[in-house]
Chain A
Amino acid sequence: MVDKAKPTAVALDDATVAFRLSEARVYTAVEKARLRIEHGEFVAIVGPTGCGKSTLLNVAAGLLRPSSGTVRIFDSPLAGLNREAGYLFQADALFPWKTAIDNVAIGLEVSGVPRARALERAQAWLTSVGLAAFGNRYPHMLSGGQRKRVGLAQVLIRDPKILLMDEPFGPLDAQTRQIMGNLLLQLWTADRKAVLFVTHDLEEAIALADRVVIMSAGPRARIIGDWRVPLSRPRDISEVRMEEDFHALHREIWSVLKDEVMKGYAQSSQAPVEAA
């Protein structure tokens, strides 16, 4: 499943991210994070709210620079934006003034693909996310789940080697989340990109991923656990939840995560600021 001969897709070493709040105050969001995502591996990051999961994702995307530590993408240091990565955001990030098909095609158009060809490919992608007949709709005419599908097609049409996802199904209802999870797995199975999937939902993480990484409550969030998911593929999100292995792993991880979630709640009621 994981191809060891190829270079590691994402490698964070001792990555620390700090934000300067004022002259004397610095907020350290993530401290000395070490994380490896191999080629073709699906890794989920789970942690309490406000623990810096998204921060870590933004570092891998090149949207944020770590204050110390290194980021390597396929063995070369990351400078600027991560050109190998596609990013599916938590919030709606579709262009509201473009129709669904134009939203998907734009990823190809910006890299110089002729419009006719881009539209043709976009239509194919809309079909594979189940929206073949919705190409002419503007984002506000689509449901939340449909917008996520368009977002997924928009990212995947560029064929990135790494897929970064920030609680992409967070705003959706439970049924839609399961359908989207299965769709994601089905698309991922086709060409096994390296995936870094951030979520606060442990069940979703286990059901989707090859590895589940747990982060501690922020500030100074660290990676405190790393579990391999022993479930076979292909999986069905709703069926895999019935398996004994799923429950065993869930219990094991939850015993660690529970304390951090409680800490996270306690800290979110205080000012998360410390002296430099």
Chain B
Amino acid sequence: MSRGGLLLFQLVVALVFFGLWQLLATVPIFGHIVLPPFFFSTPVNVFNRIFKWLIEGTIWRHLVVTLTEAVLAFVIGSLSGALVGFWFARQQTVAAIFDPYVKMMNALPRVVLAPIFALWLGLGIWSKVALGITLVFFVVFFNVYQGVKEASTTLLDNARMLGMSERQLLRHVYWPSALSWMFSSLHTSVGFAVVGAVVGEYLGSAAGLGYLIQQAEGVFDVAGVFAGMIVLAMFVVAIDLLVTKVENRLLVWRPNAGEGRA
């Protein structure tokens, strides 16, 4: 299917969805409204709310806060995850010692840490960044760890026969293969950085998209909740597009890098 055709069908899906929602929320069927506006609001109200936020400019402050938290969580989480993953893969003893603790930490639902981070770091952005880091770190860590451990033996043998020292192996073989694994987890880790920020805000903050949604819920403002969710969704789609661009640029040597994601 052509790009334009695909986009058209994607738009049709959205229109049908919102059309049905509007219809069921406003037109009585057999004298009965299927989606009472108090509980479900209406698309018109929701989009009015979004326009109001955009025009009044109140939304930008929240977007900037959430974006800052997500970016910080992503950068710190992936850098530390990559470094530790690299270190563990090269030092099997260290990896063996820490193995059960890594598994425990990873099994822990990170949401339970949010109140602790709020306690330690306050209600500002850093408690959200910390939550995001705990999510991003493990995704990147496991990918880089696997990537370095499973660097092709033929490639390593070839590199050694070409006269590479251990340091040169790190630079020319281990590091690029770890990076490629890190980038393959880019979409997941960026998503987790946003989740960390929003969940953290939801549980206690004074700004951000999570805060906005939580405030609206607190006063049964359903239109506000859905408006917040839609802005958040748009925000994630935009970030994902950006990530795809970066990925295609950096992984140009990959067989299917040019195709990108749908």
Q: A86 to B162, alpha carbons, bound, how many Å?
A: 7
Please indicate the chain A residues that have their CB under 8 angstroms from the CB of B162 in the complex: 106-107, 110, 154-155, 158
Taking a contact as CB atoms under 8 Å apart, the answer to whether B157 and A89 are in contact is yes
From A89, A91, A111, contact of B163 by CB (8 A): A111
Q: Is the CB of B164 within 8 A of A96?
A: no
B-side interface mostly: helix
- Identify which of residues 130-169 in chain B touch chain A, using a CB-to-CB cut-off of 8 Å: 152, 154-155, 157-165, 168
Segment at the interface with A among B23-31, B104-112, B208-216, B252-260: B252-260
A110 touches B164 (CB 8 A): yes
Residues of A within 8 A of B253 (CB): 96-99, 138-140
Q: CB-CB < 8 A to A107: which residues of B?
A: 162-163
A21 CB, min distance to chain B CBs, angstroms: 19
Give the residue of B154, B161, B164, B254 whose beta carbon is less than 8 angstroms from that of A86: B161
- What are the interface flags for A126-170 relative to B under an 8 Å C-beta threshold, 1 for contact and 0 otherwise? 000000000000111000000000000011001000000000000
Tally chain B residues at the interface, Cβ within 8 Å.
22
Report B197-215 residues with CB < 8 Å from chain A CB. Answer: none
Chain B neighbourhood of A89, CB < 8 A: 154, 157-158
Complex: A96 Cα to B176 Cα, angstroms: 9
Pairs across A and B, CB under 8 Å, 20 listed? A61-B161, A81-B160, A85-B161, A89-B157, A89-B158, A92-B154, A95-B172, A97-B177, A97-B180, A98-B253, A99-B253, A106-B172, A110-B163, A110-B165, A110-B168, A138-B252, A140-B254, A154-B162, A155-B162, A158-B163
Q: Does A197 contact B (CB under 8 A)?
A: no
Contacts of B154 in A (CB 8 A): 89, 91-93
Residue of A nearest to B158 (CB): A93
Size category of the A interface is 20 to 34
Which residues of chain A are within 8 angstroms of B252 by Cβ–Cβ distance? Answer: 138
- B residues 163-198 near A (Cβ < 8 Å) are 163-165, 168, 172-173, 176-177, 180
Note all chain A residues with C-beta closer than 8 A to B172: 95, 98, 106, 110
A157 to chain B, nearest CB (A): 9
Closest 7 CB pairs of A and B: A93-B158, A138-B253, A87-B161, A140-B255, A97-B176, A91-B154, A97-B253
* B residues lining the A interface (CB < 8 Å): 152, 154-155, 157-165, 168, 172-173, 176-177, 180, 252-255
Closest to B255 in A: A140
B177 surroundings in chain A (CB, below 8 A): 97
Q: Please, how many angstroms separate the alpha-carbon atoms of A106 and B162 in the complex?
A: 8
* Distance between A166 CB and nearest chain B CB, rounded to angstroms: 10
Which A residues are in CB contact (< 8 Å) with B159? 95
Please report the C-alpha to C-alpha distance between residue A85 and residue B74 in the assembled complex, in whole angstroms: 45
Q: Does residue A6 face the partner (Cβ distance < 8 Å to B)?
A: no
- For A96, the chain B residues whose CB sits under 8 A away are 253-254
CB distance from B25 to the nearest CB of A (A): 52
Cβ of A63 within 8 Å of any chain B Cβ, yes or no, is: yes
- Kindly state the separation between the CA atoms of A138 and B165 in the bound complex, as whole angstroms: 24
**Residues 81-122 of chain A: 1 if any B CB is under 8 Å from the residue's CB, otherwise 0?**
101011101011101111100000011001100000000000
Shortest A113–chain B CB gap in Å is 11
Nearest CB to that of A139 among chain B residues?
A: B253
Q: Give Cα distance in the complex from A86 to B158, angstroms.
A: 9
Given contacts A110-B164, A154-B162, A158-B162, contact A63 B176 (CB under 8 A): no
**CA of A96 to CA of B154, assembled, Å:** 12
Contacts of B168 in A (CB 8 A): 110
- In angstroms, how far is the closest chain A Cβ from the Cβ of B180? 7
New A-B contacts (19) at CB < 8 Å, excluding given A87-B161, A93-B154, A97-B177: A61-B161, A63-B160, A63-B161, A81-B160, A87-B158, A89-B158, A91-B154, A95-B155, A95-B159, A95-B172, A95-B176, A97-B253, A98-B172, A107-B163, A110-B163, A110-B164, A110-B168, A110-B172, A155-B162
**Bound form: Cα–Cα A34–B216 in Å:** 83
A99 to B162, CA, bound (A): 17
- The answer to whether B254 touches A83 (Cβ under 8 A) is no
Q: Tell me the bound Cα distance from A97 to B253 in angstroms.
A: 5
Distance (Å) between the CB of A162 and the closest chain B CB? 11
